[in-house]
């Protein structure tokens, strides 16, 4: 191994005592490959197993915690005890290859396609349509319905119940998906949350739902987990909308979460070294720099964002994050970690080979999305 990269493959131990064999994690990525009833397919398990040998931890694609939170075609469910055998199959597929398995739990809110949720009714913090990337941008007549207070409480409870199922299925942790414009972020954002009750209004009140979800998950772990079970929280630092989340808002969120006893925070970025668009004094500092300052070593931060080569990873790691997640690159080259470990980092593949779907063990639904989305993956 090139000594320059040895820190990337050094072990890391969470505060609860769970040890990772190295600092490289598989990022959560939607794969569109589950059965229509929400159970995991064999192709999906094979896809994860192929990528679980080198990395220390795999964070799965998101699973919905209630039927009206299903955000994607081919998404697997965590909304009922009937799903536990399916989740168990997924956890085992990952863990048998030597990686820790973390289940990402979520609710899509106003981003859910109506055809995937009961009665075609999409819900959110308020009845504000999404401006980008959501159902309401594709179907302008579709407006989300604001959740009632009792419905909000039911969803909070559902996050705890899905955590219990993850424990029973043999996962090593859960990641709360508070990023990418889904329901938890919808409650935090001034764009999507115009409520005037306990769950909306001031920035502090807009934090109520995300923090209640954290508490529900923590309570489930305390009640049901017998061995160390970690909890992470993923967040997006900014939104382009006005009003929308600013870097300043997110630094308040991060400062609050850093004191919640979580095991890690996970930023969602397309580019690791990206810079803020607004809300802070110095727009030339990277978002990662701001986040690390706000966290001040209270909780580990997982960095991510277009890291393809070992050199990319080395530079990102040098920025001060203790853990790095690779997403698209592990789809392109599942043997990334092994190549670094064997000193073959010059053999790392950074562009998708469109003739090697079978060797890369990529399920047909995911492959079709990748091939038909030019510019998403290098080489496509």
In the set 182, 233, 264, 308, the catalytic residue is 182
Q: First-to-last CA distance in the chain?
A: 31
Question: Using CA atoms, how far apart are residues 313 and 24, in angstroms rounded to an integer?
Answer: 9
Half-sphere exposure of 262 (CA within 13 A, CB side): 30
3-state DSSP assignment of residue 258: coil
Q: Quick one: which H or E segment has residue 203? A: helix 203-206
Task: Examine the residue annotation and report whether 64 is marked as an active-site residue of this protein.
Answer: no
Q: Decide: 279 and 248 in contact? Cβ < 8 Å.
A: yes
Q: Decide: 192 and 126 in contact? Cβ < 8 Å.
A: yes
Q: Decide: 304 and 314 in contact? Cβ < 8 Å.
A: no
Q: Decide: 244 and 181 in contact? Cβ < 8 Å.
A: no
Exposed e or buried b per residue across 310-322, where buried means at least 16 C-beta atoms within 10 angstroms of its C-beta:
bebbbebbeeebb
Q: Which residues are catalytic?
A: 182
């Amino acid at each position: 191994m090139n000594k320059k990269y040895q820190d990337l493959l050094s072990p890391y131990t969470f505060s609860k005592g769970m040890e990772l064999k190295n600092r490289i994690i598989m990022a959560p990525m939607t794969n569109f490959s589950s059965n229509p009833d929400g159970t995991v397919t064999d192709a999906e398990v094979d896809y994860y197993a192929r990528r679980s040998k080198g990395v220390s931890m795999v964070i799965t694609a998101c699973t919905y915690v209630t039927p009206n939170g299903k955000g994607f075609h081919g998404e697997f469910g965590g909304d009922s005890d009937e799903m536990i055998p399916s989740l168990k199959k997924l956890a085992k597929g990952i863990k048998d290859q030597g990686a820790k398995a973390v289940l990402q739990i979520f609710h899509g809110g106003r981003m859910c396609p109506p055809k995937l949720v009961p009665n075609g009714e999409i819900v959110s913090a308020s009845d504000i349509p999404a401006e980008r990337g959501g159902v309401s941008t594709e179907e302008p007549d579709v407006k989300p319905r604001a959740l009632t207070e009792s419905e909000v409480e039911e969803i909070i409870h559902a996050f705890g119940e899905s955590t219990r199922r993850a424990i029973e299925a043999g996962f090593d942790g859960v990641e709360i998906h508070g990023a990418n414009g889904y329901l938890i972020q919808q409650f935090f954002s001034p764009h999507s949350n115009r409520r005037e009750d306990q769950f909306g209004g001031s920035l502090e009140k807009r934090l109520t739902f995300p923090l209640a979800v954290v508490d529900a998950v923590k309570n489930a772990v305390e009640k049901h987990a017998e061995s160390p079970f970690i909890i992470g929280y993923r967040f997006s630092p900014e939104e382009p909308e006005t009003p929308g989340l600013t870097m300043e808002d997110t630094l308040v969120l991060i400062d609050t979460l850093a004191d919640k006893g979580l095991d890690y925070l996970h930023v969602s970025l397309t580019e690791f070294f990206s810079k803020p668009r607004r809300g802070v004094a110095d727009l030339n500092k990277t978002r990662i720099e701001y986040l690390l300052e706000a966290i001040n070593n209270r909780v580990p931060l997982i960095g991510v964002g277009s890291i393809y080569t070992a050199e990319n990873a080395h530079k990102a790691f040098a920025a001060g994050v203790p853990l790095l997640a690779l997403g698209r690159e592990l789809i392109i080259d599942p043997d990334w970690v092994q190549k670094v470990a064997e000193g073959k980092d010059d053999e790392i593949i950074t562009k998708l080979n469109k003739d090697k779907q079978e060797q890369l063990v990529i399920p047909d639904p995911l492959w079709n999305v990748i091939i038909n989305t030019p510019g998403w993956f290098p080489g496509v």
